[in-house]
Amino acid sequence: MSELDQRVVHIVSSVSRLAGGVAPVVWSLASYQRSLGFESSIATLHDCYTDEDVRICDNRVPVYAGRTRWPRSFAYSSDLRRYLSSECRDVDIVHVHGLWEYTSVAARRHAGRFGIPLIASTHGMLKAGALNIHRGRKMVVGWLFQNRVLRSAACLHATAVPELDSIRQYGLTNPVAIIPNGLNVTEYASDVDRSPLDERWPELHGKRIILFLSRIHPIKGVVNLAFAWGRLCQRYKDWHLVIAGPDCDNHEAEVRQVLATAGASAHVTFCGPVYGRAQKDLYAACDLFILPTRSENFGIVVAEALASSKPVITTRGTPWQELETRQCGWWIDIGIDPLETAMKDAMDLSDGQRRAMGLRGRQLVEENYSWPKIAKKMIDVYRWVLGPGPAHTKFLFR
């Protein structure tokens, strides 16, 4: 069978841009696999995406969306089960993304019923920090079905070595392919006309911008950023902090309180959620990007900032040691003091020095994280699973 005849169905609970990191990964992976001749489609749940998501992400990828039934936390869908049985019995690979919901059950049952190899991307959901969220529920779900799904996979997918470590610590012995997430580098510019941003947020006019762009959630370390910026904002009055992203569990109120206590509120702008072109414009307009996260599976926002030729500060809770080895940012310990020190170091550099760091980051992303290369690596994993094929020792651990 030629590669052009081969089919993969990606199964995921949501492909809505509102769902965060997994959704754009699945859209992009499926799209670029199709551009490489591997017939990819997506099976998801109806109440988790909109036609606008399809238009924004990629309308070339066939999508089926099944209706869900109660309880929503499990997201059972008889529609999805029937669709897989009727339309996907001839696929060569079932690739499930994410854990703890009915989509995992549906993927395993369909793969087992028709003798199709199962690939499971854990997307960081087996890391200790993630497991501790609703830990009791996850222990029950693991015992009921999730552990069997994972053990039945022909290959597991991790985005970095720390995620491989978490998979092994969970007790899984399957082969693991380490392949990072990717992005379309050509969509990211290093400069932008700032006038629309300055018009919308006049306080940004004439300022250098520090950008945080992610969910406003305790795991993202935004409070640490607020404390560090509260110590620095009076000294660096030509800089302004921009916090962009959706508020989770009213965590933004806590962040605002820390900033107000430090007298830093006037030096911060909260943008709310931003998507599409507006998001890319923020990357291009900033002078420094910060993700002070406590734990991150990959950190696609780091790659996006680097693709926009911006230096990055992030923590050792991410797998981004390359920031140090490629001299395009700071990879620091988690905490307020290390963050404050790195921010001072970054802001004390000249514009030219920061620009040089950003260009090195852009080169790093072009070399290692562009979607065509990532999609090809995942297709190589499919070929290895389907066999016979090369061992791909550069990314496959057994």
Task: Return the CATH number at 250.
Answer: 3.40.50.2000
**Is 270 within the bounds of a domain?**
yes
157 and 12 share a domain?
yes
Domain for residue 131, yes or no?
A: yes
**Whether 74 contacts 101, CB under 8 Å:** yes
Q: Are residues 296 and 206 in the same domain?
A: yes
Is pLDDT above 70 for 62? Answer: yes
Q: Do 386 and 359 share a structural domain?
A: no
- In single-letter form, the type of residue at position 167 comes to I
Residues 164 and 219 both lie in one domain: no
Same domain, 375 and 244: no
Q: Are 14 and 23 in contact (CB under 8 A)?
A: yes
Query: At 356, is the pLDDT very low, low, confident or very high (cuts 50, 70, 90)?
Result: very high
pLDDT band of 228, cuts 50, 70, 90: very high
pLDDT bracket for residue 325 (50, 70, 90): very high
Co-location of 89 and 21 in the same domain: yes
Please count the structural domains in the chain: 2
Q: Is residue 129 over pLDDT 90?
A: no
Where do the H-state alpha helices sit in 153-250? 161-169, 195-200, 222-232
Does the residue 91 lie in any domain?
A: yes
Q: Give the integer Cα–Cα distance in Å for 22 and 252.
A: 23
- Residues 126 and 275 reside in one and the same domain: no
Same domain for 225 and 321, yes or no, is: yes
Q: In terms of pTM, does the model score above 0.75?
A: yes
- Does residue 396 lie in a domain region? no
H or E element: which one contains 382?
Answer: helix 371-386
- pLDDT in the model for residue 350: 96
Give the mean pLDDT of 238-244: 97
- State whether the Cα torsion 251-256-261-262 is positive or negative: positive
Pairing of strands 7-12, 39-45: parallel
Flag whether 333 is in a domain: yes
Q: What is the span of the domain harbouring residue 266?
A: 185-368
Residues 192 and 239 in one domain: yes
350: region left, alpha or beta (phi > 0 left; psi from -120 to 50 alpha): beta
397 within a domain of the structure (yes/no): no
Mean pLDDT of the chain: 87
Average pLDDT over residues 318-325: 94
More reliable by pLDDT, 230 or 103:
230
- What is the pLDDT averaged over residues 20-26? 77
Residues 77, 135 share a domain? yes
Provide the pLDDT for residue 192: 83
> Do 214 and 176 reside in the same domain of the chain?
no
Least confident of 100-104, 153-157, 356-360: 100-104
| Residues 194 and 342 both lie in one domain | yes
Residue 324 half-sphere exposure toward CB, CA atoms < 13 A: 12
Residue written as tokens 């900032």?
305
